Amino acid sequence: MTQDNPLQIRQVNATRYVTPLREGGSMPAIIEADDEFLYVLKFRGAGQGTKALIAELIGGEIARKLGFLMPELVFVDLPVGFGQMEGDEEIQDLLQSSVGINLGLHYLSHAITFDPQATEVDATLASKIVWLDALLMNVDRTVRNTNMLWWHKELWLIDHGASLYFHHSWNNKDGNQGFALIKNHVLIKKATELEAVDAQFKGLISDEFIESLVDTIPDNWLNDDHIFENKDEHREAYKTFLKTRIANSQSFIKEAENARLSLI
């Protein structure tokens, strides 16, 4: 774990492997922890490594800060030998490579996948979600994979692991780059209130919050980027990106608005 945990993200210990979720490319799983709750566990040993966990943490906690319904995120300590009775060799390899701190999302039992054809989303909520995903450069909230759940008659956001995709190569990391893929967003056609949302949301994400959020990333999630001299420099890159992108939000909402108009 990082020496600091400014956002006070809880840490739990994995106690039981319940079932894999094979529809996800990184093969997350439902596990039980020592607080007796079930979690969807995102593994550090999966294909995208700890970068996907960092994106999940940053994206999920920014969503929560903005008032979206988000399952609780927890750090999950996976002990050596966890799930050793699981017969699948691929899963065994994944578990062995994920010993240590992983990321869990509280499991929303009996939630159903959001279907834009079955559930109406108003313009305000659609605009808020598009604003969030434009900020995060989230490539994975499309018609094919909405990454939203309908639970207790409310819309919940999940799975931000495909956000911040630039950090897989750290190209154009200053936060000013465009995000043309916003045109594929499942709610882009309904996002008619982006200017009003921008005026509301910009003030909710302070520099202080960004500092605390990035400082919450566990130290050993920052080990695999050799372009940085140390972890402090690595953290600073995330902070600079987020601060710059929020300060220049007019650029990404204009891009989203142009994408919406092109689809009408």
pLDDT one-digit tens code per residue, 7-56: 999 999 999 999 999 765 678 999 999 999 999 999 999 988 999 999 99
In this structure, which long-range contacts are made by residues 179-182, counting pairs with CB atoms below 8 Å and at least 24 apart in sequence? Answer: 179/134, 179/137, 179/252, 179/255, 180/255, 180/259, 181/137, 181/139, 182/130, 182/133, 182/134, 182/252, 182/255, 182/256, 182/259
The amino acid sitting at 87 is: G
Beta bridge partners of 138: none
Whether 170 contacts 247, CB under 8 Å: no
- Listed ranges 19-33, 222-236, 238-252; the one with the highest mean pLDDT: 238-252
- One-letter amino acid of 2: T
Residues with Cβ within 8 Å of 200's Cβ and at least 6 positions away in sequence, in order, are: none
Average of per-residue pLDDT across 82-93: 86
d(CA 8, CA 177): 31
Beta strands 100-106; 38-42: pairing state: antiparallel
137: left (phi over 0), alpha (psi -120 to 50) or beta: left
Q: Which residues contact 201 (CB under 8 A, 6 or more apart)?
A: 66, 128, 131, 132, 249
**Which residue shows structure tokens 């039980």?**
32
Q: For residue 177, what pLDDT is reported?
A: 83
Q: Closest by alpha carbon to 258, among 198, 203, 179?
A: 179
pLDDT at res. 236: 95
pLDDT digits (tens, 9 = 90+) for 133-168: 999 999 999 999 999 999 999 999 999 999 998 898
What are the residues whose beta carbons fall under 8 Å from the beta carbon of 11, sequence distance 6 or more? 1, 74, 75, 76, 77, 101
State the pTM of this model.
Answer: 0.95
How many whole angstroms separate alpha carbon 177 and alpha carbon 22?
A: 33
Paired with 77 in beta bridges are 13, 101
Report which of residues 194 and 22 the model is more confident about: 194
State percent of the chain over pLDDT 90: 83
State the Cα–Cα distance between residues 212 and 207, nearest whole angstrom: 9
**pLDDT score, position 173:** 67
Q: Give, for 125, the enclosing helix (H) or strand (E).
A: helix 123-136
Other CB atoms within a 10 A radius of the CB of residue 67 amount to: 11
